[in-house]
Structure 1
Amino acid sequence: MKKASFLMIIGPLFLLGLFSFPLWNIILGAPQYPEPLGMNIHIDGLRDMNEFDLQNIDGLNHYIGMRKLPKPEEMWEFGTFPLVIGGMVTLGVAIGLLGFLGKLSYRWFLGWFVLMSVLGVLGMYDFNAWMIDYGTNLDPNAIMKLTNADGSPMTYKPPLFGHAKMLNFDVTSLPATGAWMMFVGMMLTLGAFFLGLKNGKSIATTKSPKPIAL
């Protein structure tokens, strides 16, 4: 149980990487940009991949009627996500320490993993909803008003995951370093649960009464 608890203590600490490294990355490449434009999505705001990238992306978006990229104070998520991550790190480490002291069962390790998974799914849903709103609610007075083949207004939602073609831009959206650190941390906590489960079965087998010989 102590080895499982040690993994449970270490796993949530990997989430601290989200305070230093980006969670997600979106890259826009086009022939007129030898060096692609990109933005790193952190839990507390958007940042340039290269200097002036956000400014250049806003300039391009202006022509097709998209709003400027939000500042940290303009989205409640950028104020809430650091608190949620900090709380989950604290909770996970506390569960691991109490497990190490024999105060909690290894089942709490799975509970933390499930809670973190639910929060992750909700975060992805919120992120995708923001991109839909950002890419579809366009300024009707935009300089460029482009339409699809059926005459409907063209929308510019970036992909949540993977690659998409938007006008002459190739847009790629993928997890970044922070997301992979979070994934590793969550896998460690899941491993802690299965290690605790294995140890629990081993102890139960050891304590089972031996059959009486006739």
Structure 2
Amino acid sequence: MRKDKIFMLVGSLLLLFSFVFPLWKITLLAPQYPEPLGMKIYITHLADGNQFNDVKNIDLLNHYIGMAHLPYKANVEKGVVKPFKEFVIIPIVIVVLVILGLITTFIGKRKYYIYWLVLLIISGIIGILDFYNWLYVYGHNLDPNAILKITDKTTGKLMAYQPPLFGFKQMLNFQVYSYPSTAVYFIGLSVIFVLLAIKFYPPKGKNLA
């Protein structure tokens, strides 16, 4: 098999690691918690980050200040909240991208490598914007009847508690850290491999078999 096809094939298949590893991780540190709280975000569900019941504890803290409940397994099963639509859409997008990548590998045309890469990048940008919107909605659409209500001194409105998309943010007495996790690095590797497929595509006049 041609070198460019091998790179394209590997680049496509690397996306499947998104089903195994988390995309993102949010960590909360506070004096009252000896161990940090963590939440891993997979393409299909939310999971505990550092210790047992992390997501449940984060959900209780969030609800205390008026945030909506998180759609982790127990809440969904009890009918407290519906699962994110993204937990259905993103896996479908990944599978479609992998299938298209395999088809692109079989066709073996440089322009299709580029089309596939652009499609992957666009999908990634849409995913990041959707994640930001998810954080914004959770941090701003607060229940006015929440137990803890802290108002902004300048506007008189309820203070927003939007976690950071990337990096660090102080939220009351919590230090919140938000960073990409393992699956994002595999997606980055996918981009690199497809770029290598484009780079090593045989020049005109060479054997394209």
TM over 0.5: yes
Name the structure 2 match of 1:207. Answer: none
Task: Describe how 1:171-182 pairs up with structure 2 within 5 A.
Answer: 171-182=176-187
Question: Could you say what the CA RMSD is over the residues aligned between the two structures, in angstroms?
Answer: 1.5
C-alpha offsets along residues 110-162 of structure 1, whole Å, 9 cap, x if unaligned?
11000000011001111111110011001110111102331332111111111
Percentage of pairs with the same residue: 45
1:187 pairs with 2:192: yes
Q: Are the equivalent residues in 1 in contact too, given 2:28–2:36 (CA < 8 A)?
A: yes
Task: Describe how 1:123-138 pairs up with structure 2 within 5 A.
Answer: 123-138=127-142
TM-score (norm 2): 0.89
Q: Distance in 2 between matches of 1:128 and 1:192?
A: 32
Larger radius of gyration: 1
Unpaired segments ≥5 residues, structure 1 = 100-104, 205-214
| CA deviation after TM superposition for structure 1 residue 33, in Å | 1.1
Q: Are the equivalent residues in 1 in contact too, given 2:142–2:158 (CA < 8 A)?
A: no
1:160 pairs with 2:144: no
Amino acid at match of 1:176: S
Name the structure 1 match of 2:61. Answer: 60
Q: Distance in 1 between matches of 2:37 and 2:86?
A: 24
Name the structure 1 match of 2:94. Answer: 85
Q: Distance in 2 between matches of 1:11 and 1:81?
A: 18
Name the structure 1 match of 2:79. Answer: none
SS in 2 for 1:188: helix
Unpaired segments ≥5 residues, structure 2 = 77-81
Q: Distance in 2 between matches of 1:178 and 1:11?
A: 13
SS in 1 for 2:25: strand
Q: Distance in 2 between matches of 1:74 and 1:122?
A: 19
Q: Are the equivalent residues in 2 in contact too, given 1:16–1:89 (CA < 8 A)?
A: yes
Q: Distance in 2 between matches of 1:42 and 1:11?
A: 20
Aligned length: 196
Q: Which runs of at least 4 in structure 1 moved beyond 3 Å after TM superposition?
A: none
Task: Describe how 1:196-211 pairs up with structure 2 within 5 A.
Answer: 196=201, 199-200=202-203, 203=205
Q: Distance in 1 between matches of 2:35 and 2:190?
A: 33
Task: Describe how 1:12-91 pairs up with structure 2 within 5 A.
Answer: 12-49=12-49, 50-71=51-72, 73-91=82-100
| CA deviation after TM superposition for structure 1 residue 194, in Å | 1.8
Name the structure 2 match of 1:109. Answer: 113
Name the structure 1 match of 2:147. Answer: 143
Q: Distance in 2 between matches of 1:63 and 1:134?
A: 13
Q: Are the equivalent residues in 2 in contact too, given 1:26–1:38 (CA < 8 A)?
A: yes
C-alpha offsets along residues 184-208 of structure 1, whole Å, 9 cap, x if unaligned?
0111111211221xx316x48xxxx
More helix by share: 1
Q: Are the equivalent residues in 2 in contact too, given 1:9–1:94 (CA < 8 A)?
A: no
Amino acid at match of 2:157: S
| CA deviation after TM superposition for structure 1 residue 47, in Å | 0.9
